[in-house]
Structure 1
Amino acid sequence: MSDLAIRALPGTSPETPHVTLDGALEALPPEASGAEVWSALGGAGHLAACYRDGDPRRGVRPGALARLLAATDARFGIPATLSVSVPLATTLPVLATGTTPLARRALREALAGRVTTALAATDATAGTDLSALHTAVHLDGDTVEVTGEKQWIANATTAAWFLVLARLRPGRHFTSFTWVLVPADAPGVHVRPADSSLYAASGTGHVRFEGVRLTAGHLVDRVGMGLPSFARHIATERLAGALWGVALCRRVLADTRSRLAARAHGEATLWDNEAVRQRFAACLVRTQELHALCEQFAEPVARRYDTTAAATLKAAAGATVGRVLGDCAQWWGAAGFADGSVQQTRAQAALFGIGGGATEVVLATLADSAEQVLARLEPRGDTP
């Protein structure tokens, strides 16, 4: 794998799962689903290896996470990688805050690859405006009842557990929401696949909860800590997205470079065209800029859940992936429209500007922290 995509980041250390990463993935066919990839990675110990001491509560190891996402993307593409990245970065760390026997069991099973989980946060009525969601949980003694609907949930059709963000009381206050661990086979849980072939391998779908009655043991963490917990761990998801974005751009650029060098154009090749070379070089610059930001902000996000750093990574990844894949798709010409080719990848990659917070939303977060960001840019040290 490429130095650019997976070069070790600060704070990483070697791990020795019992099967190599390539070995675990090469045992699967290229068309494997995200659930099959998750099972293979978990069974070989590579999911746990993405966390410090194998514990999601201690934060991710950015280098290990980068390697896993790069390897998964290279062999299986965007949909399967999506169904791995979201649980690794967000679902399991949130689930790890739970202290009940049920939460601990679900976490063990997921880390071992025996089950898949789905982060059910995006509401049918509110999209990414989580403080406006309508999915509700009613508490009555030892009984918990969940009602509502979630849309565009990765792993929805394969998950054994849904980690559901639900409303406790009216209003937008951050204590008005909590997490509930809902079994996929509980009465009242209805799942349907999303009406899109783009992400079929990720098991993306919509989930409706019709008066799902559970015990209080299905609550995760302290009641009312839903939004603070989500805000903390969405930072890690944005780091994962940026690391993945570097790997994706590198992969597509490498394939495109090979194609340009082999494609005749006049008495030379398309790669010899100076206009093409300059645009390609600009894509290299953008990808290296994203990689540099990952190196700079990996530890602040992984260790301190720095929301400003995470927003920077998310905004940069959305812009970089969109620009790089757009240019590469143009260079592929008509061949790019073949099934499984670069235009399909480009369409799937649009999620980098939407999932985990639309680019406009994270840019607003950056604007709120403008003084802090500018202060970081001030020159340091003695002048000559």
Structure 2
Amino acid sequence: MPEPTADFTAALRRTLAGVDTADARALWRALGVGGVVAALCPDGGNQPDPRRLAALLTELDARCPLGVTLSVCVQVATVLPLLSEATTAGPATGPVAETVAGMVRGETVVALAVTDAGASGSDLLDATTRAKLGDDAVTLDGGKEWITNATTCDAALVLARHREPRHFTSFCWLLVPISTPGVTVEPTGRAFAGSGVGQLRFDGVALEPNALVGRPGRALAGFARQVGVERLAGALWSRAICRRLLTGLGKWLRARPAADGTLWDHPAVRERYARCLVALRQLDALCAPLLDGPPGPPSTVTGMVLKVAAAETVETIAAEAVHLRGADAFRDGGEAALRTEAAMFGIAGGATGTMLAGLADHADDLLGSGP
């Protein structure tokens, strides 16, 4: 009998056949219709199975622009689990439950609106997007920047401050239909083609009380837990990118004439390539225990380690690919462009510097976790 992940991968490949992989909405629709989104979370759970998530990101990375894969990754690793958890603990009907069902069917795209226009990306406690909670209505004001799926979504899951104290209990989630009066959307440049990255503005947006997702005061705690899955997804995706880069680079080096043979025949070139292999194997080793574990967020410290390792491994291997390929790396779709976009692994979900500062605070735990 094939392994469950093999069955999932086979179904995924059938689903992707013939799909316009440069169209994020068309791809999301196909993943829903093909049952891929539903199958990511086994046994009706809220969290994606790590091996199935790895298979999904590997297959998408092989076929899609980076921005399109980003569009899917944010939804399956963060948005859908957060919304699904809210429906488990709350009403089985209403806009949140309807949105979850629409996402699973591939009909509904939801943006994760966390990064605030009024604060630095990693400092969520200083967010200035505010929700005024009333008995009969909720009013939302503020803005969010660099939001994936902003220009292509049907709704946004918005992190908003509902209390003034600078405390993790001062925030709530709101599910905001993008067509609601007072919501405006602006695209953000040309980066990450297919990701729908943009800015969201909320000017006196009036919502029904059932726009609240979960209980007020629990949003940051839930997000802090779920971001571990996002960081695992980033590590799994970065592995796929690095493996693809090294496979292509190896073929190119073996075919590129140089002196009496090829570039591959030069010991210095092979040494540089081998260092990239070691970096990838180190990332593989960090991911391996989580791939064999149950669905769910890794620990906070493990998530931060994965985040830093993924960012640094992608940068190391992409930079080496650009160096070794020279001018060829700057052709359309080449390694230079990929290196620029892959820099997001060092920013999204927490900047590398912030992660390293946090890891330093856990030095005793990390030093004591060895054999």
Indicate the SS of the match to 1:118.
strand
Tell me the CA shift for residue 128 of structure 1: 2.2
Residue by residue over 1:86-106, the C-alpha shift from the partner in whole angstroms, topping out at 9 and shown as x without a partner, is 111111111112224211110
Indicate the residue corresponding to 1:97 in structure 2. 85
Match of 1:264 among 257, 268, 275: 257
Does residue 23 (structure 1) correspond to residue 14 (structure 2)? The answer is yes
Q: Which amino acid aligns with 1:97?
A: E
Partners of 2:227 and 2:349 within 8 A in 1? yes
Gaps of 5+ in 1: 1-7, 380-384
Indicate the SS of the match to 1:202.
coil
Alignment CA distance shift 1:301-1:147 (3 Å): farther
Does residue 226 (structure 1) correspond to residue 219 (structure 2)? The answer is yes
Partners of 2:110 and 2:153 within 8 A in 1? yes
Question: 1:1-384 to 2 correspondence within 5 Å?
Answer: 13-14=4-5, 20-30=11-21, 32-56=22-46, 59-98=47-86, 99-100=90-91, 101-126=94-119, 127-195=121-189, 197-298=190-291, 302-303=295-296, 305-377=298-370, 379=371
Alignment CA distance shift 1:51-1:301 (3 Å): same
Deviates more, 1:20-29 or 1:64-73: 20-29
Partners of 1:120 and 1:153 within 8 A in 2? yes
Alpha-carbon separation, structure 2, partners of 1:352 and 1:358: 8
Partners of 2:32 and 2:104 within 8 A in 1? yes
Partners of 2:5 and 2:51 within 8 A in 1? no
Runs of 4+ in 1 over 3 A off after TM superposition: 12-19, 297-305
Partners of 2:65 and 2:193 within 8 A in 1? no
Alpha-carbon separation, structure 1, partners of 2:163 and 2:29: 37
TM-score between the two structures when normalised by the length of structure 1:
0.91
Q: Which amino acid aligns with 1:133?
A: A
Residue by residue over 1:274-314, the C-alpha shift from the partner in whole angstroms, topping out at 9 and shown as x without a partner, is 11100100000000110110012446794354111111100
What's the Cα RMSD here? Answer: 1.8
Q: Which amino acid aligns with 2:80?
A: L
Partners of 1:174 and 1:228 within 8 A in 2? yes
Alpha-carbon separation, structure 1, partners of 2:292 and 2:304: 14
Deviates more, 1:34-43 or 1:308-317: 34-43
Indicate the SS of the match to 2:194.
helix
Alignment CA distance shift 1:365-1:299 (3 Å): farther
Alpha-carbon separation, structure 2, partners of 1:43 and 1:15: 19
**Percent identity over the alignment?**
42
Partners of 2:37 and 2:76 within 8 A in 1? yes
Partners of 1:97 and 1:220 within 8 A in 2? no
Alignment CA distance shift 1:13-1:296 (3 Å): same
Alignment CA distance shift 1:341-1:34 (3 Å): same
Alignment CA distance shift 1:270-1:67 (3 Å): same
Gaps of 5+ in 2: none
Tell me the CA shift for residue 55 of structure 1: 3.0
Q: Which amino acid aligns with 1:216?
A: P
Alpha-carbon separation, structure 1, partners of 2:353 and 2:223: 19
Residue by residue over 1:323-363, the C-alpha shift from the partner in whole angstroms, topping out at 9 and shown as x without a partner, is 10010111221121111111111111000111111111111
Partners of 2:227 and 2:297 within 8 A in 1? no
Alignment CA distance shift 1:139-1:213 (3 Å): same
Tell me the CA shift for residue 107 of structure 1: 0.6
Residue by residue over 1:9-28, the C-alpha shift from the partner in whole angstroms, topping out at 9 and shown as x without a partner, is xxx94485697211211212
Question: How many matched pairs?
Answer: 364
Partners of 1:66 and 1:244 within 8 A in 2? yes
Indicate the SS of the match to 1:163.
strand
Alpha-carbon separation, structure 2, partners of 1:72 and 1:14: 16
Deviates more, 1:123-132 or 1:217-226: 123-132
Tell me the CA shift for residue 227 of structure 1: 0.4
Partners of 1:147 and 1:210 within 8 A in 2? yes
Indicate the SS of the match to 1:363.
helix
